[in-house]
Amino acid sequence: MPEIRVSLSISSDKYLAFYKGTADTVVTRAMDGRKVKFPARVLRQFLTHDGIEGEFAIQFNENNKFVGIKKLR
């Protein structure tokens, strides 16, 4: 399954916008420079009081649809 690696640093205050409904997607750059867009809700499992921090691998299918995400560090 193809995957893209991203490094994220999202403060808890900024992630609060996703809970409030003012934002529903995360747009960032992958480590290889590609632009990546995925649903913000998939990050809930990684949310701490400090926000979301780390390196993640995002899996997608042959149609470039989101399949899963895992934290690498």
The total domain count for the chain is: 1
What are the residues whose beta carbons fall under 8 Å from the beta carbon of 13, sequence distance 6 or more? 51
Residue 46 pLDDT:
92
Question: Structural domain of residue 18, as residue ranges?
Answer: 3-71
| pLDDT surpassing 80 at residue 20 | no
DSSP 22: S
Residue 54 pLDDT:
95
CATH number, residue 15: 2.40.50
pTM over 0.85: no
Residue 17 pLDDT:
77
Of 6 and 20, more confident: 6
d(CA 20, CA 29): 24
